[in-house]
Amino acid sequence: MSALSHTLSDSLVITRRNLIKVKRVPDLIVFATLSPIMFVLLFRYVFGGAINLPDGITYAEFLLPGIFAQTVVFGSTTTGASIAEDLQKGLIDRFRSLPMSRSAVLIGRTVADLGLNAISILVMALTGLLVGWRINSSVPEAIGGFLILLVFAFAVSWMMALVGLLVRTPEVVNNASFIVIFPLTFVANTFVPLESFPSVLRTFAEWNPVSTVVQAARDLFGNQPDSVPVADAWSLQNPVLYTAIWAVAILAVFVPLAVRAYLRTATR
């Protein structure tokens, strides 16, 4: 068996192990989906009437792509916390004693969390349909919208994997990731139009990859009418390409760093 096929086989085993854990501990998926549902209902019915939008777009259609992006980014922090928990419980040492690919543990963890993010998006999409969100594009474009969200989430998972390996306690991983991710998801076009931002924050938000993920999803879901202008920044004029560049760059940097950190951790 080649090294690649060996890694893929081991990764599938680890992925299955992590998904079985979710099945046995359903609280993980319950609380992972309750939070985005709460955000959808809160912003749709509590804050929606106070946010001014241009004519031609409803707040439900503006909001849902932002909620999707926020949820998958926050959901990706599960990777770091889970790896830190496995380290803390000594599970990584058990994996090390097995004749398996070293990178399989990280691949299996990130792929399993990608599956959890997909479930969260499905639940939110169904909730969104109930509160007035609609997909106004073709089926291939809609699939592309969901894929761009999941690809970016997968890239962020690898960042969180490195954090989990370096910090090594779930509580600190959650706190550290919150400090970074919270401003990234709120200083963006997730919940309000960028026109309401001060100039400095608006410039940051226009080039914030979370903003472009949201804009890409809005475009692909048909939630950005032609009558509603988009900011002139190149990033928001080409959101799919800009998001893809960020995703590839994050993976190119953090996959080898995370694997290297795992190997160092495994040799201690």
Cα distance between residue 206 and residue 239, in whole Å: 10
- What confidence tier does 24 reach under pLDDT thresholds 50, 70, 90? confident
Is the CB of residue 15 less than 8 Å from the CB of residue 111? yes
Cα distance between residue 45 and residue 212, in whole Å: 25
- Give the sign of the dihedral formed by CA 193, CA 195, CA 198, CA 202: positive
Take residue 114 and report the two structure tokens written for it. Answer: 């990608």
CB atoms within 10 A of CB 13: 14
Inform me whether the pLDDT recorded for 130 exceeds 60: yes
The share of the chain scoring above pLDDT 70, in percent, equals 97
Is the CB of residue 221 less than 8 Å from the CB of residue 121? no
Give residue-wise pLDDT tens across range 196-218.
889 999 999 999 999 999 999 99
Residue with token string 């946010």: 51
Q: Look up residue 43 and give its DSSP letter.
A: I
- What confidence tier does 240 reach under pLDDT thresholds 50, 70, 90? very high
- What confidence tier does 228 reach under pLDDT thresholds 50, 70, 90? confident
Cα distance between residue 16 and residue 161, in whole Å: 18
Q: Whole-prediction pTM value?
A: 0.90
Residue with token string 């992006």: 69
Cα angle: 92, vertex 246, 147; to 5 degrees: 80
Is the CB of residue 233 less than 8 Å from the CB of residue 204? no
Q: Residue 79's closest CA among 183, 192, 155?
A: 155
Q: What is the pLDDT of residue 267?
A: 52
Q: What is the pLDDT of residue 213?
A: 97
Give the mean model confidence (pLDDT) for residues 53-74: 87
The structural domains of the chain, with segments of one domain joined by +, span 2-264
